[in-house]
Structure 1
Amino acid sequence: MEIKQFEDKNLAHYSYAIHSNGEIALIDPARNPQPYYDFAKQHDVKITTVIETHPHADFVSSHLEIQETTHAKIYVSKLLGAEYAHQSFDDGDTIKLGNSFLKALNTPGHSPDSISIVAIDENGKEHAVFTGDTLFIGDCGRPDLREKAGAITSPRKELAKQMYHSLRNKLITLPDSVIVYPAHGAGSLCGKGLSEQNSSTIGAEKMSNWSLQSMSEEAFIQELLVDQPFIPKYFPFEVGINKKGAGGYQTSISKVLKREAITCTDCANTLNPEILIIDTRPQDQFKKAHLKNAINLMDDVKFETWLGSIVNPNESFYLIAENEEVLNQLIERTSKIGYENQIALAFVLDYGNESSDEFDLEDFKNNLNKYTIIDIRNPSEVKAAKIFEQSIHIPLYELRERSQEIPTNKPIVVHCAGGYRSAAGSSIIKSKIHGASQVIDLSEAVKTF
């Protein structure tokens, strides 16, 4: 048995190929299926099986496309309510894969329909467990994503209770030597304290993972529910896509409309002013010249997450990049969260009818009371340390909906922790207050405070 781990760093997502005697099983495949086809071709073997541990909330899976291309069977829990052809895979079920077996464990907690998969090698030994979003390295999955999405919904407290028992009655009973392969690592919003490690063992997790330690059910639930990260707008939308099954990756991104670069006023005037503008260029380019009401959501490692946190599902937007190569990459990345169909037009921009306000940092340092300071960091960051005592806290993911709460009688200074989010936040506020006040991005200067 050979296990290959695939990583999508932008979404902190791990997927897997299990190879045994000419057959491959894929677990939680990412949006682009090509790496799995390449792996199968490299080994001259066939993809026969695709398993979804649950309907993912943070990325679009390629399970349906792989089934249609390779005729592999898709296995999911009967609780999932899948709308595509599939076979149920629950407690007591096994799949023969070459000389090996895959065994299902129902492990609800992150979602009511979550399963884990135990890989049993040629010698009948339990070798590895693929835990989806149930057990992570150093943490367990959050239980608050399925109150309003999925085939069956469950309150967070009920799922937290199920998580307590899944970890203790199912996963912790496996041999200490069993390798743990989760669906996510550090940076994912599917948990709150994930490790940078990409694998572990049951024995190591029993020693170090807080969620596997001896504690009462009540204490576990309380700890699990506290300080979970925010839920991006696109998460419930994603569950629905994955329950239905997404269309073909290449086919979908090829349908995105592109136009020639915008380099002049006449070109810009052809755009619909009612459509949201997402400008991904570096902030220095954006500040020099950009389109009116554009949001500066820069091309960065967390682009997908913030796109799906700021833009609503089914909301049209223009996608702007600094060059054609980056534009194509960002269309592909947008498709990972199922937003490619929302791109009204994608284009390169070398023009602007607005620029960003100049900022006198020394005046700000010496006269903080002259400014309205907006802190757009996440609640957990503000709880840990407030940078400016007089600041108003509105997290970035709520800023478009709450901008009317911001006073406009003083210049507005927007900050995050390092400059990436404040570029987006300041541009959002500027687009919402329509010139009622000066809006300034504190950017990386926040580090001096």
Structure 2
Amino acid sequence: MNIITSTFSVLKQSSAIIVLSATVISTQLSAQKKIDTYFDHLFSNNKMMGSVAVSYKDSIIYTKAFGYADVDAKLMNNTDTKFRIGSITKTFTGVLVLKAVEEQKLKLEDRLSAYFPQVKNAEKITIRQLLNQRTGIFNFTEIEGEDEWERKFHTQKEFMDFFINKKSNFEPGAEYEYSNTNYALLGFILEKLYQKSYAEILNEKICTPLRLKNTYYSFEVDSKKNEAISYNIQNRYVRNAVTNFSNHPASGGIASTPTDLNKFLYALFNNKLMSAESLKIMLPMEEGEYGMGIFRFPMGKNLVYEHGGRVENYFSDYWYFPKEELGVVQFTNAVNIDMDKIMFVLTKYAYQIQPELPDFNKTPELSVKEFADIKGTYFTEDKKESATVSSDGNNLVFQGAESRQTYIPLTFKNKTTFEYDKIKIIFDPKKHQLTIYQDNIVKVFRQKV
């Protein structure tokens, strides 16, 4: 049973919001030990493996890597371990396109038809609309069978053929809709303009000038190059199906580290990559609006620019506070906790607010014993599907083993019954089983005892 849900997060305007008014800390040993303990606590409770970094102005004030980069080889993540950053790639692509505009290689009002006339409505679609996600072009990651398709290398022509016959979702400029296809096309356009690969353009225009030694675009994950492998957290770490990033050109294929990304963000917001005029064009003007590879949201009185990403179970996030010159970045290769909570912990750390260690052995409604009776990994009778039930410190959470299965928080109804949206899950602790009711489908999972 495939329980698919979009990535959910703490509401950024809820009571959890913090107002940042204190002075950003310099690195303090006592503070660092406390936040080190927090991340060690996440790893030891099977909630997260990954790497994080906080920057203030042009300096890294905190960095931490934890968990395995390669479980089988027992290789641990370190601060130079590279993670796939998913859609944060779009921020880099937005910069590259605006740099091409500054170099007078194209204009924002140029039409897609000059490069790919075969795309529906290409004569109406501008470069600006591609950047702002206002084209109506069908999102290729939503095509049925894309999970299997993306595991193999595909040429640019094969990529185009994969989505080209899908109908447009709306007239160009009429609406906003996030589509990975828009940024894949921007990457192809850059390659036409420079007569170089996206990897070469990225390295020449951004990575080399900023000395980002751990940032690049490549097609395949290679643990021998200190790249983290993606896992799902079950009763063991389950390696995800492998993605070939030729299928995420300029939309989701970059590998990087939190330290490198913080350096990139500082350079971007301090006009070391492009002019102040170009940066103004890139940034969204209103909350909830998509700029050119970047979002914005308010945190109390503070303005934050951000983007997240996910491919396989590589989750990534950055928050940048331009007024405070503060950058917060986290990358994961396995996660079973709301990442916004971690971003808040890192942000609070920068303002000398220390984290509390969540208790993952219970929920507010269940005692330690009641939780222990139902937690763990369950399997269907044919062993083809599995799911893990755990606590995130606040909710009972369910996570399927599929490579794109986000964990979902379950709403308490009684000691054995929990719900999420239209899904009901009933536990039978004596039989060590759970039953899922979704639409008209009923499926039973049992624990190994």
- TM more than 0.5: no
Task: Give TM class, smaller chain.
Answer: under 0.3
- Decide which structure has the larger Cα Rg and report it: 1
Higher helix share: 1
Higher relative contact order structure (alpha carbons within 8 Å, sequence separation ≥ 6): 2
TM-score by length of structure 2 reads 0.27
